[in-house]
Structure 1
Amino acid sequence: MRHRLAGILPSLRLRLVVVFAVTALSAAVAVSGIAYWLNRDAVLTRTQNAALDDFRKMLGDHAGTLPPEPRCDQLRDAANAMADTTQTYEVLLIDEQPDGSPCAVTSDDGFTLGDVPRPLQEAVNEVRPLDQGNDAPYHLYWQRVTQDGTPFLVAGATVIGDGPTGYLLKSLEAEQDDLNSLAWSLAIASAFAVLGSALLAQAAASTVLRPVQRLGEAARRLGEGKLDTRLTVSGTDELAELSRTFNSAAASLERRVADLSAREQSSRRFVADMSHELRTPLTAISAVTEVLEDEQDNLDPMIAPAVGLVVSETHRLSELVENLMEVTRFDAGTARLVLDDVDVAEQVMACMDARAWLDAVELDAPLGVRARLDPRRLDVILANLIGNALKHGGSPVRVAVRTEPAPDGGEFVVIEVADRGPGIPESVLPHVFDRFYKASASRPRSEGSGLGLSIALENAHIHGGEITARNGSERGAVFTLRLPRDADRLAEDADTDADTDAHDGTGGTRRVEGSGTEGSGTEGSGAEGDRRQDEGSGEENT
């Protein structure tokens, strides 16, 4: 019922008004009904008793004094005398004449024996045996009837000692009019009670809902990140206690978020500092490994495998450091676009040519699709997506370029990279862009760092674009890159945000353009761990 009521009346204020009104209406109807029936019973009983008492007295005073077997004119005179009273009722007298024929006379020709219900006639004429509980053979009986919409009181009794039988007919129309007026008065009073309850409900709803609305507004601001939001507390009622609880929770949340933000900032600074500190020794180590790599064929066969391992791990460590530096730039908000007008098809071919992938990739990219974007970051995205497909998918890898309309009226450049491999397990699809995520827990160590697809996604986001992953209709994985053809507005917004952060003192600790990203996508680095298949899924066959 509560769910149904909430669906019909979605507003709490409206529900309060309706509930108040229904309650007031129910109470008013109940009280009015009881008052009406009590007044009705009192009015009818008073009128009925007065008429019956008067009729009993008149019957004894006039009909009881008639001679045995009275004439009709004597009965008529008695009936007229009985009707001549303040109770305004009609009288019907019935008796036998001296010749034995029945005589029925009335004070008004409109009142006949046919107006008397048959059960009432039988009860009036019935002779009751005399005993301790009954001291008279005849009794007075009455009944209320309605004729042509008008209520009447009908009563009758037989005079003891073979006297005549008399009947009374009294109109209750005046009492009915009084009761109708009372009913209308009670109905009007009930309507005013409902109206008053609605106004009272409106006032009560405003009193109750105003603090609730302030609480909802404060919760909305808190959800938007304004953690310094507080409510003004006044009073000691439940709503005041709720406001105090909200303020306490908001203060605790603000402290917790500040602590977590400080820790996150410290962690980012640590990663950034560590990455920069590692670059100096890595530069020296890389120079040594290049020498060892050049002389690897001349080394002792027992030493050559170890040298090869050192060389490969050094390259892997260098790529990891470069990727970590790029991630810290994204986290700190210091990554910026360097825009240029480029031909997308030429950019894709240049990326594949630099990595000797032209023979391994089918390209469907019409020339002339130009876009304003950051060519270096596009190269990083393409290197990761295509390299990932070559290493973990199945040949042939197909790259298609097209345009499609954007919701804001502009256009998107869409680059789709599809392979013919076993595809991506459904459980892995939601995590392919997570940092350091590897689908196979049994093989956490791989050639990649697990950051390639994550960096590619961040580079798409900074352009205002998106990368999605899905499985093809037949087989293989499909990665779809969507970038706006003109990223000028995003670059302007990013520069404005950077200036604001710098003015507020909340910006990143360093701003390095371009450095550290060239190796993040070359040869598909960083992508190997992003789409790692389970054992036996075909990874080694690519």
Structure 2
Amino acid sequence: MTATRTPPADTGTSGPPGPRSPRAQELARLRRGLRRRAGAARRRVRSTTRRWASRAVHAWRSSLQVRIGAITMVVAGTVVIIVSLVLFSQIRDQLLSVKRQAAIDQAQSGVLDAQNEVDGIATGDASSVRATLARTVTALQQSGGAAGDFDVVMIYRSGDTEVPGTSRAFIYQALPADLRADVDAGNQSYRYAEIPDDTGEPRASLVIGAPVQGDTASTEQIELYYVFPLTQEAESLALIRSTVVISGLALTMFVVGIGVLVTRLVVDPVRRAAGTAQRLAEGQLEERMIVRGEDDLARLATSFNAMADSLQRQITQLEGLSQLQQRFTSDVSHELRTPLTTVQMAAEVLHEARGDFAPHVARSAELLSAELDRFERLLTDLLEISRYDAGVATLEAESTNLGALVARVAAGMYSLAERHGCELTVDRPEEGVFAEVDARRVERILRNLVGNAIEHGAGRPVEITLAANRTAAAVTVRDHGVGLSSADAQHVFDRFWRADPSRVRSVGGSGLGLSISLEDARLHGGWLQVWGQPGAGAQFRLTLPLTDGGELTSSPLPLRPLVIRSPGSPA
């Protein structure tokens, strides 16, 4: 016998999910697509908003005319809004005051007419009361008045019983309760209320109520209500409001236009002056402003042109003097080359024959040869500086292994380091560092830096470090000698500058080495920087782009050493 199991009833708990139907999968895909589109739309809106905000901020910062126009619009708009609100409020109050006074006068007249109609009312007969109220309401509505269209409601109340008479039945139920309480207390009063029209839509109305005195018993009372629709007044106020808004906008735009026009009359000459000044700064010394009229702007243009004339004369004079100085330096250097060669030849003969001379004559021959070598280096440096001053220095860049170049410079300076009793160390990557540089100029920079470090290192170690990243290579030369103050660091690359004028150059430099090194670094598009601290030594950093014409954004090595020894600490 086989038992049949009945499936359990659904208790609301979910079991393991089964395969979804194609319709559910399609709905899920639609939802994902809608979410992606919504996300893309939000991103586009944010991007557009940021772009327009950026443009607005740029226009605000860069244009005086935009700022003046915006400020004028805000101020004029604020004034127009305040004046419009005050004017509209006064007009509205005046319209309602006239309407209210005419309505009160008409209501008071209607009360007198109603008293004559209800004097003989039969208080005990309900049908007679309704007929009298209906007749009175009809008569009051036909009488008309200066307050315009209106509806009339009369209420006869005896104890808790009320018998209304009204021109339109639905108005009776819409009478304000607080107004009825005032009238029930024997007062004439009015209220502004929303009373429905024939279509049932509420409309603003003025409701005036007053008690009607008659010969009825004290337990009986008759109330009279006038309902004056404010439709005409609302239409008039709407027309006035639109007129005020349009007039305010037109007045604001007119004031803004005047402000922008006046600002443009002032800003345009300033812009022309700025453009002329920029062209003057770019070297177009013949640029001048056009002078029109005799006002303040014309005087500004005249003064600007006078200043430009003076600058042109002075710059021309300075250029002439600079060219004369450059030509003089170059000519003197070239002219000295021939007699220097002759003197060097004679000095070499004397130097080679110094063994046959007396000791003091032999020493003089050695000094003569050494000083002539120094003189030749000075002439070479002067010629190099004159080429930089004339702007004719050129870069012969080719792929160079900077590691090998640094090692070659260090090997050439070992003998000088030994004479000064200092240790020369080199830290460079094992793999080659290749850069498109002028090897002759970079080698000259490093020789100047290492020689300068040895001379001022006070016999302490001199460290040369090479490093590179994806865009740049850097070499630092660190000494632990006398160091530099912040004031000295600002002048260390000046020509013929010495931190201590009484200090004699033991290396025999010309005083132009660091100046030429700085120009060589700039010719490569690189940096040559210095850090120094009195008693803690100095560090020079040369940073070069790996490719010819590349731009530097950072250096692979820090300018300030990571470890700084205090003055007096052992090396």
Q: TM-score range by the shorter chain?
A: 0.5 to 0.7
Aligned residue among 512, 515, 523 for 1:451: 512
The equivalent of 1:145 in structure 2 is 193
Q: 1:109-168, CA deviations, whole angstroms, 9 ceiling, x for partnerless residues?
A: 445598355478548856xxxxxxxxxxxx854443345753222334457897976443
In the alignment, the residues of structure 2 paired with residue 110 and residue 370 of structure 1 have an alpha-carbon distance, to the nearest angstrom, of 100
The question of 1:259 aligning with 2:324 is answered no
Aligned residue among 175, 180, 183 for 1:115: 175
Aligned residue among 410, 431, 434 for 2:491: 431
The residue matched to 1:152 in structure 2 has which SS? strand
What displacement does 1:81 show?
1.7
In the alignment, the residues of structure 1 paired with residue 228 and residue 387 of structure 2 have an alpha-carbon distance, to the nearest angstrom, of 104
Aligned residue among 132, 136, 140 for 1:78: 136
CA distance 1:170–1:111, shift in 2 (3 Å): same
In the alignment, the residues of structure 2 paired with residue 120 and residue 362 of structure 1 have an alpha-carbon distance, to the nearest angstrom, of 109
Contact 2:150 2:228 in 1 (8 A): yes
Count of residues in Structure 1 that have an aligned counterpart in Structure 2: 466
The equivalent of 2:530 in structure 1 is 469
The equivalent of 1:154 in structure 2 is 207
Q: 1:310-360, CA deviations, whole angstroms, 9 ceiling, x for partnerless residues?
A: 887776666545433432232123445677887766666665666635866
The equivalent of 2:386 in structure 1 is 328
Identity among equivalent positions (%) equals 29
Q: 1:393-430, CA deviations, whole angstroms, 9 ceiling, x for partnerless residues?
A: 25443445666544xxxxx6755444454654444334
Letter aligned with residue 145 of structure 1: A
Letter aligned with residue 397 of structure 1: V
In the alignment, the residues of structure 2 paired with residue 172 and residue 247 of structure 1 have an alpha-carbon distance, to the nearest angstrom, of 71
- Output aligned runs, 1:524-539, within 5 Å: none
Q: 1:456-513, CA deviations, whole angstroms, 9 ceiling, x for partnerless residues?
A: 22233345544333469xx7544344556787x99xxxxxxxxxxxxxxxxxxxxxxx
What displacement does 1:184 show?
3.8
The residue matched to 1:52 in structure 2 has which SS? helix
CA distance 1:339–1:65, shift in 2 (3 Å): closer
In the alignment, the residues of structure 2 paired with residue 373 and residue 171 of structure 1 have an alpha-carbon distance, to the nearest angstrom, of 94
Letter aligned with residue 457 of structure 1: L
Aligned residue among 80, 91, 102 for 1:50: 102
What displacement does 1:47 show?
2.5
Contact 2:465 2:475 in 1 (8 A): yes
What displacement does 1:390 show?
1.7
In the alignment, the residues of structure 1 paired with residue 161 and residue 174 of structure 2 have an alpha-carbon distance, to the nearest angstrom, of 16
Contact 1:290 1:311 in 2 (8 A): no
CA distance 1:104–1:482, shift in 2 (3 Å): closer
What displacement does 1:258 show?
1.9
Letter aligned with residue 60 of structure 2: L
CA distance 1:398–1:56, shift in 2 (3 Å): closer
Contact 2:179 2:209 in 1 (8 A): no
Letter aligned with residue 60 of structure 1: L
- Output aligned runs, 1:457-536, within 5 Å: 457-470=518-531, 477-482=538-543
In the alignment, the residues of structure 2 paired with residue 192 and residue 289 of structure 1 have an alpha-carbon distance, to the nearest angstrom, of 97
The residue matched to 1:9 in structure 2 has which SS? helix
In the alignment, the residues of structure 2 paired with residue 42 and residue 367 of structure 1 have an alpha-carbon distance, to the nearest angstrom, of 95
The equivalent of 1:515 in structure 2 is none
The equivalent of 2:84 in structure 1 is 32
Q: 1:238-293, CA deviations, whole angstroms, 9 ceiling, x for partnerless residues?
A: 54444334333322222222222233334434444555566677678775699599
Where structure 2 has 5 or more consecutive residues not aligned to the other structure, the ranges are 1-55, 124-128, 197-201, 217-221, 551-565
- Output aligned runs, 1:140-539, within 5 Å: 141-147=189-195, 149-157=202-210, 166-191=224-249, 209-236=267-294, 238-272=296-330, 275=333, 291=350, 294=354, 298-299=358-359, 319-336=377-394, 356-357=415-416, 361-363=424-426, 376-393=440-457, 395-399=460-464, 405-406=470-471, 415-421=475-481, 423-440=483-500, 443=502, 446-447=505-506, 448-470=509-531, 477-482=538-543
The residue matched to 1:428 in structure 2 has which SS? helix
Contact 2:118 2:214 in 1 (8 A): no
What displacement does 1:388 show?
1.4
In the alignment, the residues of structure 2 paired with residue 55 and residue 431 of structure 1 have an alpha-carbon distance, to the nearest angstrom, of 101
The residue matched to 1:154 in structure 2 has which SS? strand
Contact 1:215 1:243 in 2 (8 A): yes
In the alignment, the residues of structure 2 paired with residue 339 and residue 158 of structure 1 have an alpha-carbon distance, to the nearest angstrom, of 112
In the alignment, the residues of structure 1 paired with residue 410 and residue 191 of structure 2 have an alpha-carbon distance, to the nearest angstrom, of 111
What displacement does 1:451 show?
1.8
